[in-house]
Amino acid sequence: MKVFTQSGFTMKSIIASVAISAGLILSSVAQAEPESPAKALPSAPEVSAVELAYKKELAFLQAQKQNLQGRLTRLLQDTNDKFTWRK
């Protein structure tokens, strides 16, 4: 797990950067026209930049949770292996 220790990286600044980038991408995609109507894909519902940033953050946090749960399980198993209870 990589931790940023520089003062310029905060969760708010990262989310803001993602939201701005997503907005720029969505606006450039919206301006592009398909080559021909036959090749055009059905349009997906528009997603706001904030919603996109939220979904990315949620996916990141769910992955972190899964990683931490796995680490906890391994640590508990290691602890049980080291300290066997004697009757």
What is the three-state SS of 25-53?
Answer: HHHHHHHCCCCCCCCCCCCCCCCCHHHHH
Identify the top-confidence range among 2-6, 20-24, 59-63.
Answer: 59-63
Whether the pLDDT of residue 67 is over 90: the answer is: yes
Q: Quick one: pLDDT at residue 60?
A: 97
Report the percentage of the chain scoring pLDDT > 90.
34
Whether the pLDDT of residue 77 is over 70: the answer is: yes
Q: Quick one: pLDDT at residue 80?
A: 87
Token pair listed for 48: 């706001």
**pTM tops 0.85:** no
Which amino acid would we find at residue 58?
L
Give Cα separations from 67 to 2, 31, 61, 71, 80 (angstroms): 13, 39, 10, 6, 20
At 62, the pLDDT band (50, 70, 90 cuts) reads very high
Q: Quick one: pLDDT at residue 45?
A: 74
